[in-house]
Amino acid sequence: MQTSQLIVKQTPEKIALYFFGAFTLHNIAAYSAQVDTLHLEQKSLLLDLKNVTSFDTAAALFIHNLQKQADDFTLLSESPKIQENLLFVQNQVNHVPPRQYERRKSFLFAIGKRVEEFVLDGRLFLAFFGRIFFASLDYLTHFKHIRYKEIAFEINESAIKALWIIALTSFLIGVVVAYQSAYQLKLYGANIFIVDMLGISILRELAPLITAIVIAGRSGSAFTAQIGAMKITQELDAMQTMGFDPYAFLVIPRIIALMVALPILIFVADVMGIFGGMLVSFIDLGISGHLFLERLNEVVAVKHFYIGIFKGPFFAFLIAAIGIFRGLQVKDNTQSIGFNTTKSVVMSIFAVIVCDAIFSIAFTNLGM
């Protein structure tokens, strides 16, 4: 078997390289060290490959680089395989992909893209809403399928553990609203009317809205993160493989729990908001607690309390449904969880405000 070898013959004007045996990736390093000692510039280069027994693309690339260094280049070879490899390497090296120029997107294109994404999200949400509807029918027709334990657990997570933050937030809202109003009312000697303003605004609007916004940031984002993490770890796929419906085990219990919990939290917000306003009224306006409650009973109709509580289940459904929907939209990466969690909170708050505006218009036109 002939060994691999490179013989170099040079004159002042010409260098000849004679290759013998295998000319492959395994001996290129040795050949390269031997050739590096030569000065190929301004000289004619002769490459003799007639005695080469095997030749690969690494060798072809080595020859291509030698060809670029020499002033004049001559190749001696009778093997079609060698010619094929040399041509292949030359085509690959000389092939420069055309530069891709990104077309500047117009303002109308950006608007159209957003509209397309909005329509697609809307279609997906409608399909999600349909799944919720049919899963709810199964709950209503088969009470034995109701997951009481899961619902109780979610009520504890969404309501019981959120009581302190709802109570504190509502108390501070009552304090701030009463304190800002007290200064203006004192100018006109209308101190007692602070009870009317606090009673209607807190019971009817502020308590339901503030509670829903806090829950959207707390429980809605938690729903998205939980469902999204389960999707990434393929727990949802595992549940379906075992014959369990994720909507019956994960979606419906969370929605029912939040729809039960939010009216309770709104009631707590009503109490704490009124208490905060009553405290400021006593300190800043000299209205005693007894007088405050007496006036509240006289001028604030109980319908305002009922309207605020009535909004709770609707707000809860929007928050839970959007939170779970965004969780199901999570892709197979952790960055998607953060993106969809943020989007969940923003969409939930926006939906709650729009729903509240619709209720306000409807109740006003109904004379309530």
Q: What is the pLDDT of residue 182?
A: 78
Residues 233 and 161 in one domain: yes
Residue 239 lies in a domain: yes
163 and 87 in a common domain: no
The answer on 339 and 240 residing in a single domain is yes
Residue 149 in domain = no
For residues 52 and 181, state if they share a domain: no
Tally of domains in the chain: 2
Q: Which residues of the chain have pLDDT under 70?
A: 1-2, 40, 42, 71, 94-105
CATH number at residue 80: 3.30.750.24
Three-class SS string for 238-249?
A: HHHHCCCCHHHH
Do 162 and 254 lie in one domain? The reply is: yes
Is position 221 within any domain?
yes
The CA distances from residue 346 to 292, 323, 341, 352, in Å, are 37, 10, 9, 10
Residue 45, in any domain of the structure: yes
Shared domain check, 163 and 73 = no
Residue 105 lies in a domain: no
Under 8 Å between Cβ of 52 and 85: no
Cα separation, 19 vs 33, whole angstroms: 15
pLDDT for 171: 92
**In angstroms, rounded to a whole number, what is the distance separating the alpha carbons of residues 139 and 148?**
11
- Residue 144 belongs to a domain: no
172/76 same-domain check: no
In a domain, residue 158? The reply is yes
Q: Range of 281's domain?
A: 154-365
Out of 94, 120, 146, a domain closes at 94
Burial 134-173 (b: 16+ CB within 10 A, else e): ebbeeeeeeeeebbeebbeebbebbbeebeeebbebbbeb
What pLDDT does 1 receive? Answer: 44
**Residue 44 shares a structural domain with residue 161:** no
Query: Are both 192 and 263 inside the same structural domain?
Result: yes
Do 165 and 302 fall into the same domain? yes
Using only C-alpha atoms, the chain has a radius of gyration, in whole angstroms, of 39
**Single residue among 94, 119, 138 that ends a domain in this structure:** 94
The answer to whether 291 and 221 are in contact (CB under 8 A) is: no
Q: Are 74 and 166 contained in the same domain?
A: no
Same domain membership, residue 64 and residue 162: no
Q: Is residue 106 part of a domain?
A: no
Q: Would the CA dihedral through 168, 170, 174, 179 be positive or negative?
A: positive
